[in-house]
Amino acid sequence: MSNKTIAHGCSFTRYGWPCWPKFIPWFNNSLPMLNKGRSGSGNETISRAAINSAMKYKQIDHMYIMWSGTDRYEVITKDKGKDEVLGRITYYVWDEDLQWSTWYGGHPERDKHEYYRRHFWNEEHMYYRTLEHILRTQMFLDKKQIPYTMMIFNKDVLRDKFYSESERALHNSIDWTKFLFYKDRQGLWEFAEDNYKEYYIPGEKHPPPIAHYHWVKDMIFKSDILCPLDEYNKLKDYFKGKDGRS
């Protein structure tokens, strides 16, 4: 099997238009990219998927992980079915490797989702668990000797004021040199908003393709080489005619 790169994350990694994993091969000699991102993924889901990829695939040249919101949680069932949204924000996907379905975006029944958030969800706990997910993933990838880069989708994934000394110690156990940040611990959201806001579809919070391209070019690879002009114009004009922009 040939070498490959793998990406994990939420909808900032895989969405309805080209996202940053699409452009990684433009800068690494066209190594095959497996984009394992899923909309609505929480950090537990992302960690588990990254670890599963590390166990499943051989000859991984590099793994890229973009961590998601700390408020997200997952629901696991053994229901098999078609991968479809059915008009809901939540959706489930059967995982052949894990032999279960993961509901992305929380519980599909609104009353149960609200009950969980009201009685079981705790912000301090979720921040702590996010650090656990990051550290566990790093330890596993280090053991497998798989090179990796970690990122965050926005600045709210992490915080610098800790609830406990245990949280501080956990934070300090993470290898932060493996992270790529925009400015001071910011992510793709802030990078795109600061530099490519004019290319957004009105009302859309997900960065446009041109922002994803520059995230790879300017942030990940720090390259001075621009893609061919015709390709660049396609990225700039990706939504032309769809959102009323001239």
What mean pLDDT value characterizes the chain?
93
| Residue 134 sits in the same domain as residue 96 | no
Q: Regarding beta strands 60-67 and 75-77, do their DSSP bridges make them parallel or antiparallel, or are they unpaired?
A: unpaired
In this structure, are 128 and 219 located in the same domain? yes
pTM given for the model = 0.93
Q: Are 62 and 86 in contact (CB under 8 A)?
A: no
* Residues 67, 9 contacting (CB under 8 angstroms): yes
The H or E element spanning position 61 is strand 60-67
Range(s) of the domain holding residue 159: 4-70+123-236
pLDDT of 150 reads 99
Write out pLDDT tens, residues 50-88: 999 999 999 999 999 999 999 998 889 898 866 555 555
Of 120, 152, 186, the domain-final residue: 120
Indicate whether 16 belongs to any domain: yes
Q: Do residues 136 and 108 share a domain? A: no
Q: How many CB atoms lie within 10 A of CB 187?
A: 25
User: Model confidence over 178-214: pLDDT tens digits?
Assistant: 999 999 999 999 999 999 999 999 999 999 999 999 9
